[in-house]
Amino acid sequence: MKKICITLVILCSMTMTVMAAGRLERPKLVVGLVVDQMRWDYLYYYYNEYGEGGLKRLVDEGFSCENNMIPYIPTITAIGHTSIYTGSTPALHGICGNDFFIDGKPVYCCGDSTVRSVGSDTKEGQMSPRNLIASTIGDELKLATNWKSKVIGVALKDRAAILPAGHAADAAYWWDTKAGNFVTSTYYMNELPQWVKDFNKQNRTKPGYDLKGKNEGVTMTFKMAEAVLVNEQMGQHEETDMLTISVSSTDIIGHAVGTRCPENKAVYMQLDKDLAAFLTKLDQQVGKGNYLLFLTADHGAAHNHNQLKEHRIPAGGLESWKHVKALNEYLSQLHPGTKPLILGSHSMRYYLNYDNIKAAGLDAQKVKDEAIEWLKKDRRFVNVIDMEKAATAPLPVTVRERIVNGYYPGRSGDIFGVARPQFTDTSDAPDYKGTTHGHWNPYDAHIPAVFFGWKIEHGSTSARTYMTDIAPTVCELLHIQMPNACIGNAITEIVDD
């Protein structure tokens, strides 16, 4: 009997040892870092200027996807942040721009009049992810851990904090310029945590001060991210936590001054410095090798067209918003007595006013065809297409696919203008110095995707990857289900190592 008991103890001990050895491994923390308007080539254009501990550390120690592209049009901030974390495109996740129309009604991507600001008395906090119809990495992480994981988003732009964090996030914090501090909304909580109140008291700026458009906005973003890391004890819980961070100032400065100017270099030097300090904090707080971090961008940016023309490269501004008034005047000549038949435009997508078309007893397809023929007269367009017929449009497959991936009926417009390369939707004035984004072309669609930290071996791939591959890659590394509208694929060079 004694031998039997000893044998059972040994067997139980062996079983427990095997179970312990076979325990599912996950990092303590996942950090998603999006740098707004970061072209892929910025990894290398400023490489020799970077210090050793920031962007250069990610490139030199992490795994870089060198041929990573955005698979939809338009390449816009709200769509990019959403697509990264859903692994999907507007056709399925429903976020079709920063601003767009839903069944003829103008909406802001995160606008939500049913909630109120927390942390200020302004309308800047009336935001939520309710227009997003798909789940995110954070949502799936919550589900996989029975809601034990903590998920928090931080950015100066509201959409860059809210959309990455997802529906089930514990919090999202963004900067209220009118109040001069970070806020959230009643979608998440009814009162700011005491540590956020203390942070705001110590870091508040004068109301109306343009922090977002300054280099110090980068520093404030990482300062807030570090405060979340420490005060919410991210990476210190039983289950994996997730922190989403977006750097907004790079985009605002880039829009104002373009891609090749001292101000652009300065903001990337600030990013590099602040990132280095944040990585050091992660090493101290969570531990080297205990966190998984990825760096990417929501979109790139075109070079300034006036600068290109100085060097004999074809380029120009398009100013598509001016088409709306002229197009309505043209259509009113064809259909006298009608109210405006074009509702508006966003990112070279034109929206029909179906209410006015119906009231006039007109055929919507006929009006659409007339508008397309008029727009085609603008030779700055390569082609102008009916969004519902994009799959058969006479365009290269890559462009067709990206238009289809960006089309959500009732939200994405009815007509799309495909611009000539380097003809951006900006002012065509000869003194214009800024830039924008939104096109399918590499300058807007080629973005970095660098993985770093937990289980990531140093290396790179030139194989084509997509923004939508980031979410399934992270989810496979975590052994959780990918987001529910995900169409991307895990990057085998990373998950198979």
Residues marked as catalytic: 77
* Phi, psi (rounded to 5 degrees) for 485: -115, 15
CA-closest candidate to residue 317, choices 326, 329, 328, 304:
304
d(CA 232, CA 223): 14
Tokens for 35, please give them.
């740098």
Q: Are 154 and 133 in contact (CB under 8 A)?
A: no
Tokens for 90, please give them.
């507007």
- For the chain, the three-class secondary structure string (H helix, E strand, C coil) is CHHHHHHHHHHHHHHHHHHHHCCCCCCCEEEEEEECCCCCCHHHHCHHHCCCCCHHHHHHHCEEEEEEECCCCCCCHHHHHHHHHHCCCHHHHCCCCCEEEECCEEEECCECCCCCEECCCCHHHCECCCCCCCCCHHHHHHHHCCCCCCEEEEECCHHHHHHHHCCCCCEEEEEECCCCEEEEECCCCCCCCHHHHHHHHHHCCCCCCCCCCCCHHHHHHHHHHHHHHHHCCCCCCCCCEEEEEEECHHHHHHHHHCCCCHHHHHHHHHHHHHHHHHHHHHHHHCCCCCEEEEEECCCCCCCCHHHHHHCCCCCEECCCHHHHHHHHHHHHHHCCCCCCCEEEEECCEEEECHHHHHHCCCCHHHHHHHHHHHHCCCCCEEEEEEHHHHHHCCCCHHHHHHHHHCCCCCCCCCEEEEECCCEECCCCCCCCCCCCCCCCCHHHHECCEEEEECCCCCEEEEEEEEHHHHHHHHHHHHCCCCCCCCCCCCCHHHHCC
Q: Are 383 and 67 in contact (CB under 8 A)?
A: no
Exposed e or buried b per residue across 427-436, where buried means at least 16 C-beta atoms within 10 angstroms of its C-beta: beeeebebbb
